[in-house]
Structure 1
Amino acid sequence: MRPERTLAMGGVTHALLKTHLLSDGNEAAAILICAPSPGPRQRLVVRQALLVPHDACPVRKPDAIVWPGAYIEDAIDIAEPEGLVVILLHSHPGGWLQFSHIDNESDARVIPGLFEAFGECHGSAIMTPEGAIRARLYAPDMSSQPVDLVTVAGDDISYWWNDRIVNGVPAGRPLAFTGSMTEELSRLSAAVIGVSGTGSISAEQVARLGFGSVTLVDPDKIEKKNLNRILNATSADAEQGRSKVEMFSAAIAEHRGDGVAAHICHTIGTREAIEAVSQCDVIFCCVDSKEGRQYADLIATAFLIPLFDVGVTIPTFLDDGKVAIADVSGRIDYVQPGGSTLSDRGVYTQESLRAEYLLRTDPAAFQDELAAGYIKGIHEEAPSVITLNMRASAALVNEFIARAYPYRQEPNRNYARVSFSLAACDEDHYTEDDFDRGENALLGRGAAEPLLGLPLFRKPKKVAG
């Protein structure tokens, strides 16, 4: 059963909370300010964590804490203007991931005060020494519902399922590449942005791994020139001008059944596509444009979704007047919310976005700025790159598995970027610490208007009539 209620946070925030809440064996407290995502799924993202200072608490014991109400008032001041959700979080140093009768009594006293101030939903949560979190949400009548899934996207991707906690102990993580991994994936949703060369191969893997929901985003139609690199595409699809996502959704239904694949036949730079992707648990970005990567970057940041981006290239040069291949290479980037973004890593820049825009809208103005598909320097209508795409797409999806079901001999933090060269028979990797991280005001913004902080996506106001 897929989660109806999810709480998501970035690994940077989770690490900060864990250090504060579990520093000395006594209970400690913090307050989470959470933003919603577009419905229908209730997916809350942690925008800000307010740490309650240890020395401000009159009582701190291994099994009890009393903390001043002034910090709740501070949280209300922050959350009320946008109608955000406040979740009161404290630690259980003893390791019991279960709300106690003392926790229930405390919520009964404190949570109504939040509703008196504002809002239709607030909650409480607990954390145990291994970093596991359990949460619940209250309605104004103080009826409560458990948060089905708490997820943290850091160097590793963690999932804590409410229904997998038995007697206050969460179930162990599934082993990579096993049936138990497939079972968990059946409860998660993936977005694949771009369903062409690398995208169709990635979507095929995602669907066959067993993701419960696969959202496909691509505005283009199938043409004869790309039949050699889009999985499941046929000559009939090209003749009919069938959309890539419609074709691929039907292909997934053939082996997974109806209701697994959803398709958005628009660019990712549309409100419909952004809202659909914001509902997902992981994003695989397989576009060949800078603008597409920028949107994926912004969505991942605003909605705290782990992002996996792939790119391939075959640069060429002139050798005695003949065109020769300089390299055959690929790149996979893992972007964790609160870490370095694709922008921070230089995958796209304002200059490259501008150049791409000019190439698309005014080729004459583009002049000397060169950007031509897979092979730079040669105009190829149907590049024979499926073998390169297969290599890159497998690395892309395996990177997700390595994060969610760790199997590497080294820490995942060392693999924020992996690049390979088939020409040099070489592979390099870069740690998260190799990239500078800029300030990011979009982090945890959620569904606040305008969407992604861009005036282009400001929701039209309803006109009374």
Structure 2
Amino acid sequence: MAEAIDAQARRHLLRADRQEDLCFALWHPSTGRSRRTALIERLILPEDGERNVHGNASFQPAYFERALGLASAEGAGLALLHSHPLGRDWQGMSGDDIRAEQGHAGAVYGATKLPFVGLTMAGDGAWSARFWERTARRHYGRFDCATVRVVGQRLRMTYMNQLAPAPRPMEAQIRTISAWGERKQADLARLRIGVVGGGSVGGFIAEALARTGFEDVLVIDYDYIETKNLDRLVYATRRNVGEPKVSELATHLREAATAEKFEAEPIMAAVYEEEGFRAALDCDVLFSCVDRPWGRHVLNLIAYAHLIPVIDGGIAVRRNRKGELAAADWRAHTATVDHRCMQCVGQYDPGLVELERLGHLDDPTYIENLAKDHPLRVRENVFAFSMACASQQMLQMLAMALDPLGQPNPGEQLYHFVGGHMEPPIYGVCHPECLFPGFVARGDHCGFVVTGDRPARLSPGSKKPAAPDSIVRRGFVAISTALAFIGRAIGARLK
């Protein structure tokens, strides 16, 4: 859930008189490859006479019927939230709790075709949660969630230790743990992190995750290692040329990891393909290490509709007419609720997304005809620049998760190598006309399709795009260029 929903729930559920309380909420599903997440979109607070508070709390049938009617009308699921104000951390369930939730699961499923979801808030604000799944006719079984994620200025996780046990501190992590303590390390290490893009920046970030003690890392990329990559890939050597980036990077991470139990899963797909998209939805945090508009467009939607924070970064290098280095800039920022999205930051041009879908961004003729200062031609970088950008992205994630001294958001950061200075950080929210804040917590129900097939120019296994095939193709490029111009005009207005 978003921080605003969490704060509203705290105000209602954690009463000054220390009695329990309850309310209903609407939720939407977020379906990954192996994980289903319930995204709490909106609370349905009780009206006068709809619930009783008597040490414990109970609701009247009219309240349940009103909430269920809203869920059915809006195509959402229904959740019941209640509090254990004297509890701490993940909470178990009393017999009354179980009867209240299980006894209503059938009616909820019948009206919404989605499981009834139960959440409990402890006195310290920790959440526990479960799904009531239909397991047989007229029977609903309880399935506990492994984690509950609260997303906003900071990232706050609550773990069920039986399903997501705290890792054992390792000798190889002594220096790391000494910086922020065992409790914070345990919370960090259990995050499932997705690195989207196994290139130069992605390789540095993935290695930093493995050495820091994270237990579960996914690497998503469809590309292969080429000789021209070797000056920037920290994990690759000449013997890796021709191999998939994700498989070689995953092998390297297993050797570098300091966690006792470590998984590095290679996903040989683009994030805009269904396989890559669903794998990304299994994660708690995503690192955007792509430099193309379609991938960023997909990740932008995930950050808001699916409430998975996306740590994005980018590098721009420019030379002057003499061929000398004129500028090298890199930036890092976090896309999530209460932050500006990547489109509003200016990290991708929405007008170029369709061009990439059509394969034109892999057309050498199209790229060569672009201006020398076009964003698609100034993203070349070198090892040192990639290392610096990756470091900034890692620090963004650590600040959000560790919340050091109550300062979880370093803002949008931009560093200029030529001149050696950092711009003042920017804190802001999206433009009023931006679409993405309207998708918050809508998940699979957002109605915005961003995935598709990989362009024909980059068929699976292909390392290089095919050459333009006809004059008709060049006509399409001209039309798409006009569309891109329109997209840039719209983007400029959004900024």
TM-score of the pair, normalised by structure 2: 0.75
Residue 310 of structure 2 is aligned with which of 304, 307, 310?
307
The change in CA–CA distance for 1:242 and 1:129 in structure 2 (over 3 A counts) is same
Q: Distance in 2 between matches of 1:95 and 1:364?
A: 62
Q: Which residue of 2 aligns with 1:243?
A: 244
Spell out, residue by residue over 1:107-136, the C-alpha distance to the aligned partner (whole angstroms, 9 max, x if none): 354444324545463232222454321223
- Displacement of 1:192 in angstroms is 0.6
Q: Which residue of 1 aligns with 2:458?
A: none
Q: Distance in 2 between matches of 1:19 and 1:114?
A: 26
| Farther-moved stretch of structure 1 (346-355 vs 192-201) | 346-355
Q: Which residue of 2 aligns with 1:168?
A: none
- Displacement of 1:42 in angstroms is 3.6
Residue 392 of structure 1 is aligned with which of 381, 389, 404?
389
Q: Distance in 2 between matches of 1:183 and 1:455?
A: 34
Does residue 360 of the first structure (1) align with residue 362 of the second (2)? yes
Residue 35 of structure 1 is aligned with which of 28, 37, 41?
28
The change in CA–CA distance for 1:291 and 1:178 in structure 2 (over 3 A counts) is same
Does residue 343 of the first structure (1) align with residue 339 of the second (2)? no
SS at match of 1:315: strand
Spell out, residue by residue over 1:146-184, the C-alpha distance to the aligned partner (whole angstroms, 9 max, x if none): 32211112211111122389xxxxxxxx98554554444
Q: 2:30–2:39: 8 Å Cα contact kept in structure 1?
A: no
- Displacement of 1:81 in angstroms is 7.5
Q: Distance in 1 between matches of 2:213 and 2:152?
A: 23
Spell out, residue by residue over 1:268-318, the C-alpha distance to the aligned partner (whole angstroms, 9 max, x if none): 211110011111111011112222211111223232111101111223445
- Displacement of 1:400 in angstroms is 1.2
Q: Structure 2 matches for 1:285-434, cutoff 5 A? A: 285-318=288-321, 322-337=322-337, 339-353=339-353, 358-361=360-363, 363-364=365-366, 367-370=369-372, 376=378, 383=381, 385-407=382-404, 409=405, 411-413=407-409, 415-430=410-425, 432-433=427-428
The change in CA–CA distance for 1:259 and 1:341 in structure 2 (over 3 A counts) is same
The change in CA–CA distance for 1:43 and 1:58 in structure 2 (over 3 A counts) is closer
- Displacement of 1:267 in angstroms is 1.9
Q: 1:176–1:405: 8 Å Cα contact kept in structure 2?
A: no
Which AA in structure 2 matches 1:148?
A: A
Residue 145 of structure 2 is aligned with which of 144, 147, 150?
147
Q: Distance in 1 between matches of 2:366 and 2:21?
A: 62
Which AA in structure 1 matches 2:249?
A: F
- Displacement of 1:435 in angstroms is 4.6
Q: Structure 2 matches for 1:53-202, cutoff 5 A? A: 53=46, 55-60=48-53, 63-80=55-72, 85-95=77-87, 97-119=91-113, 121-140=115-134, 141-163=139-161, 177-178=180-181, 180-202=183-205
The change in CA–CA distance for 1:235 and 1:129 in structure 2 (over 3 A counts) is same
Q: 1:196–1:244: 8 Å Cα contact kept in structure 2?
A: yes
Which AA in structure 1 matches 2:116?
A: H
The change in CA–CA distance for 1:252 and 1:46 in structure 2 (over 3 A counts) is same
Which AA in structure 2 matches 1:423?
A: V
The change in CA–CA distance for 1:370 and 1:74 in structure 2 (over 3 A counts) is farther
The change in CA–CA distance for 1:145 and 1:292 in structure 2 (over 3 A counts) is closer
Q: 2:247–2:266: 8 Å Cα contact kept in structure 1?
A: yes
Q: 2:40–2:441: 8 Å Cα contact kept in structure 1?
A: yes
- Displacement of 1:80 in angstroms is 4.5
The change in CA–CA distance for 1:267 and 1:108 in structure 2 (over 3 A counts) is closer
SS at match of 1:34: strand
Segments of structure 1 that go 5 or more residues without pairing to the other structure are 1-8, 166-173, 458-465
Q: Distance in 1 between matches of 2:427 and 2:62?
A: 37
Q: 1:305–1:337: 8 Å Cα contact kept in structure 2?
A: no
- Displacement of 1:193 in angstroms is 0.8
Q: Distance in 2 between matches of 1:175 and 1:126?
A: 33
Spell out, residue by residue over 1:309-359, the C-alpha distance to the aligned partner (whole angstroms, 9 max, x if none): 1111223445xxx34444322111112246432123222232354676654
Q: 1:185–1:209: 8 Å Cα contact kept in structure 2?
A: no
Does residue 206 of the first structure (1) align with residue 209 of the second (2)? yes
| Farther-moved stretch of structure 1 (334-343 vs 67-76) | 67-76
The change in CA–CA distance for 1:98 and 1:350 in structure 2 (over 3 A counts) is same
The change in CA–CA distance for 1:82 and 1:222 in structure 2 (over 3 A counts) is farther
Which AA in structure 2 matches 1:88?
A: L
Q: 2:339–2:429: 8 Å Cα contact kept in structure 1?
A: no
SS at match of 2:100: helix
The change in CA–CA distance for 1:354 and 1:229 in structure 2 (over 3 A counts) is same
Q: 2:23–2:80: 8 Å Cα contact kept in structure 1?
A: yes
TM-score of the pair, normalised by structure 1: 0.79
SS at match of 2:42: strand
Q: Distance in 2 between matches of 1:371 and 1:29?
A: 57
Q: Distance in 1 between matches of 2:261 and 2:21?
A: 47
The change in CA–CA distance for 1:344 and 1:21 in structure 2 (over 3 A counts) is farther
Residue 264 of structure 1 is aligned with which of 258, 267, 277?
267
Q: Which residue of 2 aligns with 1:217?
A: 220
Segments of structure 2 that go 5 or more residues without pairing to the other structure are 164-176, 454-495
The change in CA–CA distance for 1:348 and 1:56 in structure 2 (over 3 A counts) is farther
Which AA in structure 1 matches 2:195?
A: V
Which AA in structure 2 matches 1:446?
A: G
The change in CA–CA distance for 1:216 and 1:371 in structure 2 (over 3 A counts) is farther
- Displacement of 1:185 in angstroms is 4.1
Spell out, residue by residue over 1:351-403, the C-alpha distance to the aligned partner (whole angstroms, 9 max, x if none): 35467665434744984544668973xx96xx5x2112111111211221221
Q: Distance in 2 between matches of 1:304 and 1:269?
A: 17
Q: Distance in 2 between matches of 1:350 and 1:373?
A: 13
Q: Distance in 2 between matches of 1:39 and 1:410?
A: 32
The change in CA–CA distance for 1:196 and 1:146 in structure 2 (over 3 A counts) is same
Does residue 18 of the first structure (1) align with residue 21 of the second (2)? no
Spell out, residue by residue over 1:25-83, the C-alpha distance to the aligned partner (whole angstroms, 9 max, x if none): 4644332333333355343231522321453535345x333434344334434544897
- Say what the alpha-carbon RMSD is for the aligned residues: 3.5
